[in-house]
Amino acid sequence: MTRPPHNTEEHAMTDDKVTVIGLGSMGTAIAEAFIRAGRPTTVWNRTPHKAARLAAEGAIHAETIEDAVAASPLIITCLTTYEDTRQALQPVAAALSGRTLVTLNSGPPAGARETAAWAAAHAARHLDGAVKNVPAAVGAPDTLIYYSGDKAVFDACEPTLTVLGGDTVHLGDEIDLAALYEMAVGALLLPALVGFFQGAAALRARGLQAGSMVRFTGKWLDMIKSLLPVYASEIDSGDYSDAASSVNLFLAGAAHDEDLARETNVDVTWLVPLNDLLRRAAEAGHGDHSISALTELLGKPTPPSG
C-alpha cells in the first residue's frame, strides 16, 4: 500500500488547528476539550443548530463540510459508524489529501480496514480510535482513549490527541486494532448492566430502592476487576486446572435464577443462553475447570444444526 504523502508546508502537523465533524454528545465533548485547551477548533454537523453552543464557546462553525475539512490539517470524525463517516466525507474526499483523519466511531474491525483503504485512496493519513469512557470524562487525566494505525502518524498527532484523555494509548500499526479492542472490551458492558438492572428489578419487587445496592455493586465490580489478570493468565496459558471458581460451581448457581424469577416475578430469560453455555462447557469436560474455560467454547462456536 502506498503511504499518503507526509507533512507539507500547507498541512504541517505543527499547525494545532483541529476540525471536529459530528456533534452528538461525544463529538460535542471532544470539541469542548479542544476549545478549553486553547486549540483553534472548527466544528461541523449535518444539523447546524448543534454547533451553536460550541460557537458561543469559541469554536469556528463551518457552514459546509468543505469549509470544515479545509480549515485544519487534523480532521476528527465522531459519527455513528464507519459507513456514516465515509458517506459524510465522500463529497470532499479529494480535500483530505495530505491531511490526517482520525475516526472515533463504532463498528467492527473490517469497517476500520475498509475506511483505512478509502482514506489511503484519497492520500489521507488515518488513525482509528475509541473513547473508553462517557462524554463527560473527555479531557480528564485518567480517561482512556486508544488508537491504532501508523505509529509515525500517531506520534505527530499525540500532543493534540492527549487533550482528549490523559491515558492515551497507541495499540499498534494495524489500523483495525482499536476497533478490535473496542468490541473485545465493550462486550462486558451490556451483560454487566443487565445484571444490575435485574438486581434493581428484584429489589423493587420488595419495595427497595435501586440506589441501596450501588455501593455493594461497586465492591462486587472491584472484586471482578481483581480476578481479570488471573483469568487472562489462565486463558493465555490454556491451563484451567486451578479452579477457584469452577464451571460446575456457576452451573449449580444457575438453578437459583428460576427461584428468583418465581419469588420476585423478575424476567431472567436473558440468562438462558449464558446458562446453556455453562452446560455445554461441563459436557465438553470443563466442569471442574476454572470458569475462564468458557473462552474455549466461545472461541469455537457450535456449528448451526442442519
Q: Mean pLDDT over all residues of the chain?
A: 93
Q: How confident is the model at residue 302 (pLDDT cuts 50, 70, 90)?
A: low
CATH of the domain at 246: 1.10.1040.10
Give the residue-averaged pLDDT of 95-110. Answer: 97
- The last residue of one of the domains, among 130, 152, 184, is 184
Looking at the whole model, is its pTM more than 0.85?
yes
Q: How many other CB atoms are found less than 10 A from the CB of residue 233?
A: 12
Q: What is the pLDDT of residues 265-291, one digit of tens each?
A: 999 999 999 999 999 999 999 999 999
Task: Please check whether residues 262 and 235 belong to one and the same domain.
Answer: yes
Question: Is residue 304 predicted with pLDDT exceeding 60?
Answer: no
CB 16 within 8 A of CB 39: yes
pLDDT tens for each residue of 18-44: 999 999 999 999 999 999 999 999 999
User: What is the Cα–Cα distance from 4 to 134, expressed in whole angstroms?
Assistant: 33
Please report the pLDDT score of residue 93 as a whole number. 97
Q: Which domain holds residue 214?
A: 188-299
The residue that leads in pLDDT, 12 or 153, is 153
For residue 38, CA distances in Å to 57, 90, 144 come to 11, 30, 21
For residues 200 and 188, give the distance between their C-alpha atoms in angstroms, rounded to a whole number. Answer: 19
Per-residue confidence band for 300, with pLDDT thresholds at 50, 70 and 90: confident
Listed residues 184, 214, 249: the one ending a domain? 184
* Sign of the four-CA dihedral 58, 51, 112, 88: negative
Q: Strand, coil or helix: what is 170?
A: strand
Q: Which of 117, 63, 127, 128 is nearest to 93 (CA)?
A: 117
Average pLDDT over residues 192-205: 97
How much is the pLDDT for 303? Answer: 57
